[in-house]
Amino acid sequence: MNVPEVGRLPLCIVVPVTEWKPAFAQCSWFVLLLPTRENGLVKESGADAFQVKSVSEHRLVRKFGQITVEQVEEIAAAIALCVGY
C-alpha cells in the first residue's frame, strides 16, 4: 500500500465504514457510500467521520476497493465539520 509519510510513526488516518441505516441520513458526519464494483462494497454503507482514528499501517493488509475523489472530499468535509474547522 502506497501511503504518503506524515509524522514519525507508521500510522494511517482512517474513517470507519459501517452498514447504512436510514437514521444516519440525519447525521451530518455520516457519508452515504453506495456499493459499486470499484469500491468493493456489497451493501449501502456509511463513512462515520465522527469516528476518525489512527491505525498502524501494519493492520492495513488488503485493499477492498477505492472510493471516488468526490466521496473523499465529502468525507473530508464531514471530518472538518466534526473538528470545527
Domains of the chain: total: 1
* Residue 47 resides in a domain: yes
Asked whether the beta carbons of 64 and 40 are under 8 A apart, the reply is yes
**In this prediction, what percent of the chain has a pLDDT beyond 70?**
92
Is 15 a member of any domain?
Answer: yes
Q: Is residue 4 part of a domain?
A: no
Does 1 score more than 60 pLDDT?
no
Asked, for residue 53, whether it belongs to a domain, the answer is yes
Domain that holds residue 24: 11-82
Give the CATH number, domain containing residue 78. 2.30.30.110
pTM of the model: 0.84
pLDDT digits (tens, 9 = 90+) for 43-81: 999 999 999 999 999 999 999 999 999 999 999 999 999
Q: Does the residue 23 lie in any domain?
A: yes
